[in-house]
Amino acid sequence: MDNCLNNVFIKDIMTTNVVYVNPKEGVIKAFEILLKHKISCLPVVDEDKEIVGIVTTTDIGHNLIEDRYTLDTKISDVMTRDVITIGPDEPIINAIKKMDKYGPKGEIINQLPVVDDNNRLIGIVSDGDIIRILSKCLK
Protein backbone atom coordinates (compact mmCIF):
# COMPACT_ATOMS: atom_id res chain seq x y z
CA MET A 1 0.00 0.00 0.00
CA ASP A 2 2.68 2.52 1.04
CA ASN A 3 4.71 1.56 -2.00
CA CYS A 4 1.74 2.01 -4.25
CA LEU A 5 0.92 5.41 -2.75
CA ASN A 6 4.47 6.68 -3.16
CA ASN A 7 4.59 5.73 -6.81
CA VAL A 8 1.37 7.37 -7.96
CA PHE A 9 1.54 11.04 -8.86
CA ILE A 10 -1.06 13.75 -9.17
CA LYS A 11 -0.69 13.84 -12.96
CA ASP A 12 -1.63 10.13 -13.05
CA ILE A 13 -5.03 10.65 -11.44
CA MET A 14 -6.00 14.29 -12.07
CA THR A 15 -8.89 15.36 -14.29
CA THR A 16 -7.55 17.62 -17.04
CA ASN A 17 -10.88 18.63 -18.53
CA VAL A 18 -11.62 21.23 -15.85
CA VAL A 19 -14.64 23.51 -15.81
CA TYR A 20 -13.60 26.97 -14.55
CA VAL A 21 -15.01 30.45 -14.37
CA ASN A 22 -14.05 34.14 -14.58
CA PRO A 23 -14.12 36.26 -11.38
CA LYS A 24 -16.41 38.82 -13.06
CA GLU A 25 -19.26 36.30 -13.51
CA GLY A 26 -22.25 36.43 -11.16
CA VAL A 27 -22.69 33.89 -8.37
CA ILE A 28 -26.03 32.73 -9.76
CA LYS A 29 -24.29 31.89 -13.04
CA ALA A 30 -21.57 30.02 -11.11
CA PHE A 31 -24.21 28.03 -9.20
CA GLU A 32 -25.92 27.12 -12.48
CA ILE A 33 -22.58 25.93 -13.93
CA LEU A 34 -21.87 23.84 -10.81
CA LEU A 35 -25.30 22.17 -10.92
CA LYS A 36 -25.32 21.71 -14.68
CA HIS A 37 -21.96 19.92 -14.63
CA LYS A 38 -22.68 18.08 -11.36
CA ILE A 39 -19.44 19.33 -9.86
CA SER A 40 -18.73 20.47 -6.33
CA CYS A 41 -16.20 23.24 -6.96
CA LEU A 42 -15.23 25.72 -9.61
CA PRO A 43 -11.73 27.18 -9.87
CA VAL A 44 -11.70 30.89 -10.69
CA VAL A 45 -9.04 31.96 -13.19
CA ASP A 46 -7.90 35.23 -14.78
CA GLU A 47 -7.32 35.84 -18.50
CA ASP A 48 -3.90 34.10 -18.31
CA LYS A 49 -5.57 31.05 -16.72
CA GLU A 50 -3.75 31.80 -13.48
CA ILE A 51 -5.81 30.66 -10.53
CA VAL A 52 -7.18 33.54 -8.43
CA GLY A 53 -9.86 31.84 -6.36
CA ILE A 54 -12.28 28.98 -5.90
CA VAL A 55 -16.00 28.61 -5.17
CA THR A 56 -17.96 25.54 -4.04
CA THR A 57 -21.53 24.32 -4.52
CA THR A 58 -22.03 24.02 -0.76
CA ASP A 59 -20.82 27.55 0.01
CA ILE A 60 -22.73 29.27 -2.79
CA GLY A 61 -25.83 27.13 -2.22
CA HIS A 62 -25.80 27.78 1.51
CA ASN A 63 -25.45 31.54 1.08
CA LEU A 64 -28.13 31.64 -1.62
CA ILE A 65 -30.61 29.85 0.60
CA GLU A 66 -29.77 32.17 3.48
CA ASP A 67 -30.45 35.16 1.19
CA ARG A 68 -26.95 36.54 1.54
CA TYR A 69 -26.43 37.24 -2.17
CA THR A 70 -28.15 39.60 -4.60
CA LEU A 71 -28.49 39.26 -8.36
CA ASP A 72 -25.45 41.54 -8.65
CA THR A 73 -23.12 39.53 -6.42
CA LYS A 74 -20.00 38.65 -8.38
CA ILE A 75 -17.78 35.62 -7.93
CA SER A 76 -14.89 37.93 -7.04
CA ASP A 77 -16.98 39.20 -4.08
CA VAL A 78 -17.38 35.78 -2.52
CA MET A 79 -14.64 33.44 -3.78
CA THR A 80 -12.01 31.93 -1.50
CA ARG A 81 -8.78 33.67 -2.53
CA ASP A 82 -6.41 31.57 -0.47
CA VAL A 83 -6.50 28.53 -2.78
CA ILE A 84 -4.59 25.40 -1.76
CA THR A 85 -3.10 23.97 -4.96
CA ILE A 86 -0.87 21.05 -5.84
CA GLY A 87 1.70 20.31 -8.57
CA PRO A 88 1.36 17.53 -11.16
CA ASP A 89 4.62 15.84 -10.11
CA GLU A 90 3.78 15.58 -6.41
CA PRO A 91 2.96 12.13 -5.00
CA ILE A 92 -0.68 11.61 -4.02
CA ILE A 93 0.37 11.40 -0.37
CA ASN A 94 0.91 15.18 -0.55
CA ALA A 95 -2.68 15.65 -1.69
CA ILE A 96 -3.98 13.58 1.23
CA LYS A 97 -1.97 15.67 3.69
CA LYS A 98 -2.97 19.00 2.14
CA MET A 99 -6.68 18.06 2.03
CA ASP A 100 -6.55 17.24 5.73
CA LYS A 101 -4.26 20.05 6.91
CA TYR A 102 -5.84 23.02 5.18
CA GLY A 103 -9.54 22.16 5.41
CA PRO A 104 -11.75 24.61 7.29
CA LYS A 105 -12.92 23.77 10.84
CA GLY A 106 -12.05 20.08 10.92
CA GLU A 107 -13.46 19.52 7.43
CA ILE A 108 -11.24 18.41 4.60
CA ILE A 109 -10.74 20.11 1.25
CA ASN A 110 -12.50 17.90 -1.29
CA GLN A 111 -10.77 19.23 -4.40
CA LEU A 112 -7.30 20.61 -5.11
CA PRO A 113 -6.64 22.54 -8.33
CA VAL A 114 -3.47 21.33 -10.07
CA VAL A 115 -1.23 24.16 -11.31
CA ASP A 116 1.95 24.46 -13.35
CA ASP A 117 5.02 26.46 -12.26
CA ASN A 118 3.29 29.69 -13.30
CA ASN A 119 0.21 29.01 -11.16
CA ARG A 120 -1.83 28.23 -14.26
CA LEU A 121 -4.68 25.74 -13.92
CA ILE A 122 -3.91 22.41 -15.62
CA GLY A 123 -6.15 19.99 -13.75
CA ILE A 124 -8.05 19.14 -10.61
CA VAL A 125 -7.77 16.26 -8.15
CA SER A 126 -10.61 15.23 -5.83
CA ASP A 127 -10.89 13.11 -2.71
CA GLY A 128 -12.84 10.71 -4.93
CA ASP A 129 -9.84 10.35 -7.27
CA ILE A 130 -7.76 9.37 -4.24
CA ILE A 131 -10.32 6.85 -2.96
CA ARG A 132 -10.38 5.28 -6.43
CA ILE A 133 -6.58 4.82 -6.57
CA LEU A 134 -6.50 3.59 -2.97
CA SER A 135 -9.02 0.93 -3.91
CA LYS A 136 -6.75 -0.14 -6.78
CA CYS A 137 -3.72 -0.17 -4.43
CA LEU A 138 -5.62 -2.47 -2.06
CA LYS A 139 -6.20 -5.14 -4.70
Q: For binding to its own copies (CB under 8 A), which residues are involved?
A: 1-2, 5, 32, 34-36, 38-40, 57-59, 61-62, 64-66, 93, 96-97, 99-101, 103, 107-108, 110, 127-128, 130-132, 134-136, 138
Minimum Å gap between C-beta 42 and its own copies is 13
Contacts of 55 (CB under 8 A, 6+ apart): 21, 27, 30, 34, 41, 42, 44, 75, 78, 79, 80
Buried residues in 49-66 as b, exposed as e (16+ CB within 10 A): eebbbbbbbebbeeeeee
Nearer to its own copies, 38 or 82 (CB): 38
Q: Would you say 24 or 128 has its CB closer to its own copies? A: 128
**Residue 52 or residue 99: which is nearer to its own copies going by CB?**
99
Q: Closest separation between CB of residue 88 and its own copies, Å?
A: 19
Shortest distance in whole angstroms from residue 29 CB to its own copies? 12
| Dihedral sign for Cα atoms in the order 35, 37, 40, 44 | negative
User: What CA dihedral angle connects 33, 39, 94 and 136, to 10 degrees?
Assistant: -150
Name the minimum Å distance from CB 48 to its own copies: 30
